[in-house]
Amino acid sequence: MGKAGIPSAEIRQRVADLRREIEYHNYRYYILDDPEIPDAEWDRLLQELRKLEETYPSLVSADSPTQRVGAAPTDEFAEVRHRIPMLSLDNAFSEDELRHFDRRVRERLGVDSDVEYSAEPKLDGLALSVTYERGVLVQAATRGDGTTGEDVTVNVRTIRSLPLHLRGQAPAVLEARGEVFMPIAGFERLNAEASKKGEKVFANPRNAAAGSLRQLDPRITAQRPLDIFFYSIGAVEGIELPSSHGATLELLRQFGLRVSPEIRKVRGASGCLDYYADIDRRRASLAYQIDGVVYKVDSIAAQRELGFVSRAPRWAIAHKFPAEEALTVVRDVEFQVGRTGAMTPVARLEPVFVGGVTVSNATLHNMDEVARKGVRIGDTVVVRRAGDVIPEVARVMLERRPQDSQDIVMPLWCPVCASPVERDAEAAVARCTGGYRCSAQRKERLRHFASRRALDIEGVGEKLVEQLVEAGLVESPADLYGLTLEALSALERMGPKSAENVLNALERSKSTTLARFLFALGIRDVGEATATALASHFGDIDALMAADIEAAQQVQDVGPVIAAHVVEFFAEEANRRVIERLRQAGVSWPSGKPLESAAQPLSGLTFVLTGSLESMQREEAEDALRALGAKAAGSVSKKTSYVVAGRDAGSKLKKAEELGVPVLDETALKNILSTQRPPSSDGR
């Protein structure tokens, strides 16, 4: 260090220039979302500044961009009294409640016309107050109880998108308020790393953000992907504030503070509701979690007139999405028997309203999952239902476990047919060994056989299958084709017209494809893709039925386990009989080997379709792609060749973008199907 020396005027100038430049590029990157230079160049500037500051320590200042992590760990946070209390918001949980809010606003203001509101996402993070004096960040504090919060300045300084200096002509004092949050991708990365190291994971991004902000060691906070959006101004000195909320947000942006790009001006209750619906639709594709939207009367004069009640303003309201998590009690656990005998533990719950519906059952997936979550009968659990996801037990509230809670045990005998239950050595799954003897398996197999992606027999769904099996009319899929008008019409709630429709649908289903037929048989682990591969490899069913494990393994993507399942299935006499009877009943498919798969135009390509298509059903499109030799998969991975995104595409589209998988729209898809050619390299 010895040669520290006194920096020349030139060096001083260079340091000042570097700081200004770095801050300018931060602004381009975080606020305008329009970076001017590559990341590597930004790194180089910071590196140069760091070097100079190391050589001339006298030049280091607390507000230098190199000093985000400046402070040493502390024992506790100091208290901060908010000059202006940090309030909370009233909630509306329904359209009615929102309309009521709007009506009261208009009554109090004495206006008939539509009120102008600022509509904003309600970020699910923590409220933060950040104070700048003469443009320099001096303090950041949590909301606390609204009057007194905690001083988290050293941690907040590590948030990359937060400027340490305001841009432009800064006022003497500016206290900006906003929400700190952790983007979902960052949260998932953080949890993945934690669980790899055997450390505790965070329950959700909000907890992760809170935990990160309240770290006593800012070096840890610095590694957490926190971000912030500002939504209001608290204390201020030395400037006049604008006359509308919208203009206030614009001012914050001009100072270089991040403001949500989703904020819109809307008119009246109907404008609010349109905004709500729009955000709700796009919710899954936002990079962060939100728990509703906030509407604020835009005119500051009107806000003043409306004033406050207790701790919340009369001029704003949070319109919340239905809660996605709720607490309830596990009354019992029953075991559901699936198509292949797999026994799934299902929690019977005290009914609870969550995610907009009443939930009284939640899957526990399998016994490993039960053990991992540590659920017992009698436990109070958190039930989660996100979007259209099946309700699941997220976690147990151990502190509420009753004395008489009971262990969940896999039964030794099937609760439906009393056959022995066996547990797969390799998988976590326990199975009923009853096969067709088990009425639960029979029903599930029939339902699967008739389902849309299998033989597509319209009208033969869960209810009818239940009736047919209970009445002893049908045991195997082959029995379906022996049904008569009389037998069907005799069933409850089945008129002659519906009975005839079912018979017609059965007739139509007889002409199918070998791939669909194989899928319909419900062979263990043979999904649509494997069924298609088997069909195109063997060309006809007799060749497949004659295959041994080695021959079956020649099929693309068929390994020893699936090959064994296939061979076992066809070795079973009962299954051969069913197949024979189905063929005798007239179930048939175009014979002969299709094109060698390598000769098909889309062979080797894997597509994932997501969102809804305008001109066709997703399944139709997938069938059409398969017919050209492509694979249609359900989830996006590095192996995916293309993702086709329809309307309201959500997480799969996001995943594709993350992995850099090319994304096609519906027009491009139609183009592929009509030209029977893969997309050209520019994705068109």
Question: Residue 251: what residue type?
Answer: L
Q: Which residues pair with 430 in a beta bridge?
A: 423
Of the pair 30, 231, the CB lying nearest ligand IVH is at 231
Q: Cβ of 374: how many Cβ atoms within 10 Å? A: 11
Cβ 523 vs Cβ 566: under 8 Å: yes
Residue 179 found at the interface with ligand IVH (CB under 6 A): yes
Of the pair 293, 523, the CB lying nearest ligand IVH is at 293
Q: How many binding residues for ligand IVH (CB under 6 A)?
A: 15
In the sheet with 173-181, reading across from the earlier edge strand, the strands are: 136-142, 126-133, 173-181, 227-237
**Minimum distance, C-beta of residue 650 to ligand IVH, in the bound complex (Å):** 22
From 60-68, 313-321, 508-516, 535-543, give the range in contact with ligand IVH by CB under 6 A: 313-321
**Minimum distance, C-beta of residue 181 to ligand IVH, in the bound complex (Å):** 9
Residue 313 found at the interface with ligand IVH (CB under 6 A): yes
Instruction: Please name the residue that has the structure tokens 């299902």.
Output: 346
Q: Which of 55, 74, 88, 285 binds ligand IVH (CB under 6 A)?
A: 88
Of the pair 120, 444, the CB lying nearest ligand IVH is at 120
Q: Which two tokens stand for residue 191?
A: 């949890």
The sign of the dihedral angle between the CA atoms of 2, 8, 13, 14 is: negative
Residue 249 found at the interface with ligand IVH (CB under 6 A): no
The backbone torsions φ and ψ at residue 620, rounded to the nearest 5 degrees and listed phi first, read -60, -45
Q: Which of 69, 71, 87, 210 binds ligand IVH (CB under 6 A)?
A: 87
**Minimum distance, C-beta of residue 133 to ligand IVH, in the bound complex (Å):** 23
Residue 117 found at the interface with ligand IVH (CB under 6 A): no
Residue 207 found at the interface with ligand IVH (CB under 6 A): no
E strand intervals along 238-278 = 264-267
Q: Cβ of 274: how many Cβ atoms within 10 Å? A: 15
Q: Which residues contact 378 (CB under 8 A, 6 or more apart)?
A: 329, 330, 401, 402, 404, 405, 406
Helix/strand/coil for 136: strand
Helix/strand/coil for 617: coil
What is the DSSP-derived secondary structure letter of residue 236?
E
Residue 231 found at the interface with ligand IVH (CB under 6 A): yes
Residue 469 found at the interface with ligand IVH (CB under 6 A): no
- Output Rg (C-alpha) for the chain, integer angstroms: 32
**Minimum distance, C-beta of residue 299 to ligand IVH, in the bound complex (Å):** 15
**Minimum distance, C-beta of residue 180 to ligand IVH, in the bound complex (Å):** 9
**Minimum distance, C-beta of residue 105 to ligand IVH, in the bound complex (Å):** 15
Of the pair 244, 536, the CB lying nearest ligand IVH is at 244
Q: How far is CA 662 from the centre of its chain?
A: 20
Instruction: Please name the residue that has the structure tokens 């000769």.
Output: 599
Residue 82 found at the interface with ligand IVH (CB under 6 A): no
**Minimum distance, C-beta of residue 26 to ligand IVH, in the bound complex (Å):** 23
Of the pair 234, 662, the CB lying nearest ligand IVH is at 234
Residue of 115, 671, 15, 271 lying closest to 7 (CA atoms):
15
**Minimum distance, C-beta of residue 88 to ligand IVH, in the bound complex (Å):** 4
From 220-228, 312-320, 548-556, 620-628, give the range in contact with ligand IVH by CB under 6 A: 312-320
Residue 156 found at the interface with ligand IVH (CB under 6 A): no
Of the pair 123, 533, the CB lying nearest ligand IVH is at 123
**Minimum distance, C-beta of residue 48 to ligand IVH, in the bound complex (Å):** 38
From 74-82, 84-92, 219-227, 351-359, give the range in contact with ligand IVH by CB under 6 A: 84-92
Residue 120 found at the interface with ligand IVH (CB under 6 A): yes
End-to-end CA distance of the chain: 59
Reported as half-sphere exposure (CB side, CA atoms, 13 A), residue 524 has a value of 20
**Minimum distance, C-beta of residue 263 to ligand IVH, in the bound complex (Å):** 8
Residue 89 found at the interface with ligand IVH (CB under 6 A): yes
Q: Which residues contact 338 (CB under 8 A, 6 or more apart)?
A: 344, 440, 441, 444
Of the pair 228, 421, the CB lying nearest ligand IVH is at 228
Residue 300 found at the interface with ligand IVH (CB under 6 A): no
Q: Which residues contact 524 (CB under 8 A, 6 or more apart)?
A: 340, 565, 569
Q: In b/e form, how buried is each residue of 639-669, taking b as 16+ CB within 10 angstroms?
A: ebbbbbbbeebbebbbbbeeeebebbbbebb
Residue 286 found at the interface with ligand IVH (CB under 6 A): no
Q: How far is CA 352 from the centre of its chain?
A: 22
Mark residue 422 as left, alpha or beta (left: phi above 0; alpha: psi -120 to 50; beta: remaining).
beta
Of the pair 85, 435, the CB lying nearest ligand IVH is at 85
Which listed residue (122, 320, 443, 631) is catalytic?
122
Cβ 630 vs Cβ 602: under 8 Å: yes
Residue 317 found at the interface with ligand IVH (CB under 6 A): no
From 120-128, 551-559, 624-632, 645-653, give the range in contact with ligand IVH by CB under 6 A: 120-128
Q: Which of 19, 122, 245, 431 binds ligand IVH (CB under 6 A)?
A: 122
Distance CA 627, CA 656 (A): 24
Helix/strand/coil for 65: helix
Of the pair 87, 585, the CB lying nearest ligand IVH is at 87
Of the pair 290, 535, the CB lying nearest ligand IVH is at 290
**Minimum distance, C-beta of residue 150 to ligand IVH, in the bound complex (Å):** 15
Q: Is 122 one of the catalytic residues?
A: yes
Distance CA 191, CA 514 (A): 44
From 85-93, 495-503, 541-549, 581-589, give the range in contact with ligand IVH by CB under 6 A: 85-93
Residue 234 found at the interface with ligand IVH (CB under 6 A): no
**Minimum distance, C-beta of residue 425 to ligand IVH, in the bound complex (Å):** 50
Of the pair 143, 431, the CB lying nearest ligand IVH is at 143
Q: Which two tokens stand for residue 129?
A: 């107050």
Q: Which of 22, 105, 166, 294 binds ligand IVH (CB under 6 A)?
A: 294
Residue 25 found at the interface with ligand IVH (CB under 6 A): no
Chain residue at closest Cβ approach to ligand IVH: 127
Which residues inside 123-152 make contact with ligand IVH, applying CB under 6 A?
123, 127, 143
Instruction: Please name the residue that has the structure tokens 């033989």.
Output: 455
Q: Which residues contact 208 (CB under 8 A, 6 or more apart)?
A: 182, 187, 190, 191, 202, 224
Of the pair 143, 655, the CB lying nearest ligand IVH is at 143
Q: Which of 31, 154, 316, 446 binds ligand IVH (CB under 6 A)?
A: 316
3-state helix, strand, coil in the chain (%, to 5): 40, 20, 40
The backbone torsions φ and ψ at residue 612, rounded to the nearest 5 degrees and listed phi first, read -105, 145
Q: How far is CA 536 from the centre of its chain?
A: 35
The residues annotated as belonging to the active site are 122
Q: Which residues bind ligand IVH (CB under 6 A)?
A: 87-89, 120, 122-123, 127, 143, 179, 231-232, 294, 313, 316, 318
